[in-house]
Amino acid sequence: MIEEMPELSRQTVRFCPLCGYPLLMQPVGPEGRHHPSCAGCGFVFYLNPQLVVGTLPRQDGRVLLLRRNIEPAKGLWVFPGGYVDLGESVEEAAHRETREEVNVEIRLDGLLGVYSFSTSPSAIIVYLASVLAGEPRSGPEAQEVRWVGPDEIPWRELAFPSTGAALADWVKSLGRAG
């Protein structure tokens, strides 16, 4: 049985990553918002959203989706995407994640939108993209890949709220209701 790891939150962060002293919830900065702060060295542990990037690879009026092969949301549909690594630009991450997940090289054609929800630890930047090379195929993180048109989107089987929001924005950009 796989045991789930505890989630990083203000309740689970207890010790300073720099000096090991206990962290205390204290008011910080002029706004006085409470953040975990080190009793020893004064380090403030800001828990900010993780940055995720996604692409909507398009071809012939359709977008490329993948069925996830990993948790969370295993078995549900999403567009290629993932976390932006430290030292990597958002654009570099968009190219890397698309290549890793669906085996295609893309050109970024512009920003579709930025999506965040108070219930999610991530903020996602989604780009429209054109496929330049490669034959779409599943990587280790995908059970299958599929081109879908606006009328073929599996709305009830989408992985995340951001997946639905971005696809709805894409459909609206085509002049159709989502």
The catalytic residue among 91, 92, 144, 152 is 144
Asked about 144 being catalytic, the answer comes back as yes
Closest Cα partner for 70 from 159, 167, 163? 159
Q: Which residues are part of the catalytic machinery?
A: 144
